Structure formats: structure tokens, C-alpha cells
Amino acid sequence: MKVAFLGTGLMGLPMAQKLLDAGIQVIAYNRTPEKLAPLKAAGAQVVTHSYQAINSADSIILMLSNAAAIYSVLLSDRSWRTVAGRTIIQMGTITPAESREIRDAVVAAGGEYVEAPVLGSIPEAKAGKLIVMVGAFQEQYDRHLDLLKNFGPEPVLVGSVGSAAALKLALNQLIASLTTAFALSLSFVQRQGVNVDLFMEILRESALYAPTFDQKLQRMLEGNYDNPNFPTKHLMKDTELFISEAKSAGLNVASLEGVREVIEQAMKMSFSNADYSSLFSAINSDG
């Protein structure tokens, strides 16, 4: 099996590595060529143009930052001509409408399209324990299941194209909202002189607890946001996508618009490329 992997950033790199570990031939492309060095050293074929990767493989996995990047890398004039007869598996976070539009473009070019966004970060990607959500026909899901299992043990068929993209956005909204809420409560008990260990002990025993709180606690207490698993700028992108889609669905997004202000503050404080636990510092900022 030959798989083209387009987009080898924070998540794409360990995901492509999992394919190599499974003995799958990988042809890798990234818009920043320097990021391809680890994969080349691990045995991947690297190319300088996306159409070269597409043209060399039957299945093409996309792990790109947004829909604009997908159009640039996959559906530019020269790349678009190489899509015919190939399967495009889109694994990044985009809106349902964007996913369906890209599907239509891929089908018009003679290819087939599957969406398979993932939940989890770099440790889960390295371990092959991501939660893989699939938007596709049953037959497509069955045919690509073995490939998708390299990323997570039990890929879930959510429904047609767009449904998995929607589920992924809903989950990422929780990342933003839960992290901001936890950072606010943690900051409040600190300001009030309440022992943080006691706060966490009671929280862990309650129905309010989410494991992400402990995963981010030490970073927040230390103010250490280096080596991010998920950078603040990506959380901002996903939050804005969710707000737009939710408004279109007639939902009240006032709470998330407040969260977006906190994320904006973190980015103004130069935490765009830092771990999103930097929201804690934005909560504690005067403006």
C-alpha cells in the first residue's frame, strides 16, 4: 500500500510515522519542507510538490490546518488533475459545509472523499490511540477501516460526509470552554487563598471533574506553555468555526463568544504558538 500524507505538522508527523511503523509506504508533502526531515530519516519518500505525492499513491491523507490550505494543496490546478481514481481522506478540523464542498470538488475530479477527523493530541497520535470519527458511506468505511486503525483502535462511522466534521467541532468547543472555565476557577481559588491541592481533591471527587483539568494543571501553575500538543492559534481557529456554524444553526453562542475573548487575549500576549493552557495567563491578565 502507498499512502500520500499531506501536512506533517504537530499531528501529521506522528500520524505519518504510525503508517511507516506499520510497513506502509508513505509519500510525504508539507508546505514547510523542513518539517519533512524526520519522516525522510524514517524511510518516507518526500516530495516538493503536492501533486507528486497525490500522483504516487492510491490513498491521500490530508492533515492540513484549514480549508484554505486544502484547496491550495489538493485542489490547485495541477494537483486537481491528479485526483481522479484516488481516495482523499480528510483528517483535519474543518466545518461540515467546507467538508461537503471539498467532497463535491473531489468527486467532480473523479476521486472519492472520506472525512475522518480525530480527537486527541500528540501522545495519542504517537500511541495510535486517537479517536477517529468517520463521515462516509458504509462501503467506504469498511474498505478503509484497516488503514484508519493505524491511528485509533476503533474508528467510528458517524454518518455521511459533514457529520464527523460537525462532531469534531462540537468536541473542540468543549476543549475551549472547559479549559477556560477551569482556568477561571483555579485563578479564583488562588486569589482567595484556597489551597489548590484541596480544590483539586474535591473537584476530582465530584461530577464536575474532567481529566483535562489534571492534564493542564501543572502547565498552568508553572506558566509553562512550551512544546504544545495543541497551540492556542488552532484553538482560536476551531472556536471561530464553531461559532459561525452554531450561529447558522440558530444557537445562542454568547458563552463561547466570551471564551473567544479570552483566547484573543492569550494571542495578544504572544501565546499563539504556545499550548492552549496559556488561557490561564489570559484569565489572570488585566487586559
- Residue-wise pLDDT for 96-149, tens only, equals 999 999 999 999 999 999 999 999 999 999 999 999 999 999 999 999 999 999
26 and 143 both lie in a single domain: yes
130, 159, 188 - which closes a domain = 159
Residues annotated as part of the active site: 168
146 and 176 both lie in a single domain: no
Residue whose cell numbers read 481557529:
237
153 and 15 both lie in a single domain: yes
33 and 138 both lie in a single domain: yes
Specify the amino acid at residue 198: L
Longest dimension (CA), the chain: 64
97 and 170 both lie in a single domain: no
CATH code for the domain in which residue 110 is found: 3.40.50.720
Per the prediction, the chain carries an average pLDDT of 96
106, 127, 159 - which closes a domain = 159
- Residue-wise pLDDT for 146-166, tens only, equals 999 999 999 999 999 999 999
149 and 170 both lie in a single domain: no
Rg (CA), the chain: 20
- Res 181 pLDDT > 90: yes
11 and 152 both lie in a single domain: yes
Question: What's the domain range around 138?
Answer: 2-159
- Res 9 pLDDT > 90: yes
Which pLDDT value is given to residue 287?
59
137, 159, 181 - which closes a domain = 159
132 and 210 both lie in a single domain: no
In this structure, the number of other CB atoms found within 10 A of the CB of residue 124 comes to 18
103 and 177 both lie in a single domain: no
135 and 6 both lie in a single domain: yes
CATH code for the domain in which residue 212 is found: 1.10.1040.10
148 and 172 both lie in a single domain: no
Axis crossing angle, helix 232-248 with helix 254-268, rounded to the nearest 10: 160
* pTM of the entire predicted model: 0.94
8 Å CB contact between 5 and 59: no
50 and 68 both lie in a single domain: yes
Q: Kindly indicate the confidence band of residue 78, based on its pLDDT and cuts at 50, 70 and 90.
A: confident
8 Å CB contact between 109 and 133: no
Quote the number of domains for the chain. 2
Label residue 85 exposed, middle or buried (CB < 10 Å: 0-12, 13-18, 19+): exposed
- Residue-wise pLDDT for 254-263, tens only, equals 999 999 999 9
